[in-house]
Homo-oligomer: A and B are copies of this chain.
């Protein structure tokens, strides 16, 4: 499982304050801690409150790159923020994210091609998040077709079916698990699948167990990647065990430590 560490995000107070004070050590430590806990990549988001998002995002990227060589998921709703961050990203880059709207796909697929970045695409459009499986699948097929037409390598495309919180959209989650399979048969090679995991437990009182049980079930349905908290040891242990049971790593008695990516 490709875990993108979610902790460098300006919605968290420690990150917001580090950005304000240009305190590199906080950000570098967050990068290192997540890498040491098994993250395969790091999300980078300056947060919705940033007044100068281009400047803040560039500072975050430069700071993280002093501490880690992991791929960076440049996370913003603003194309210009992402573009300017990609200009200075030396690590492998992931664009987080485009929607299925054609005008956004046009911008982001071109950008991903130009900067040799992977691309996360949400199966939603201007009308919002679809309520059923078929509508998500239709948007997914549209995204893949668009990317193929641009000769974008589908191996570098991550489809995100959009996980909603269990306490507000409970019936959707079973459909999401099913749609993870169906995304894989849209094309050959198949697109990768990703979820923004923590959203599933937003607003609940039992966040950690909800996160890890949902991630385990999604792993059983072929999920490739998740944006999640790699410092949640129980979560990472569950992922490692799921991958063992799915025969992705060979069994050994010490598998929990042996397969923690370092």
| A residues apposed to B, CB below 8 Å | 166-167, 170-171, 173-174, 177, 200, 204-206, 209-210, 213-214, 216-221, 237-238, 241-242, 244-247, 250-251, 253-256
Contact = CB atoms under 8 A, between A and B. Distances in A.
Nearest to A177: B220
5 contacts: A173-B245, A209-B238, A213-B216, A217-B220, A217-B245
A173 B242 CA distance: 11
Contacts of A200: 245
A204 to B, nearest CB: 7
Contacts of A205: 253-254
A125 to B, nearest CB: 25
Given A166-B251, A221-B220, A250-B170, A245 B206 contact: no
A114 to B, nearest CB: 39
A59 B217 CA distance: 41
Contacts of A253: 167, 204-206
A217 B238 contact: no
A242 B173 CA distance: 11
B241 A209 contact: yes
B210 A246 contact: no
B174 A245 contact: yes
Contact of A241 (B177, B213, B246, B255): B213
Contact of A166 (B173, B204, B245): B245
A247 B206 contact: no
Nearest to A176: B245
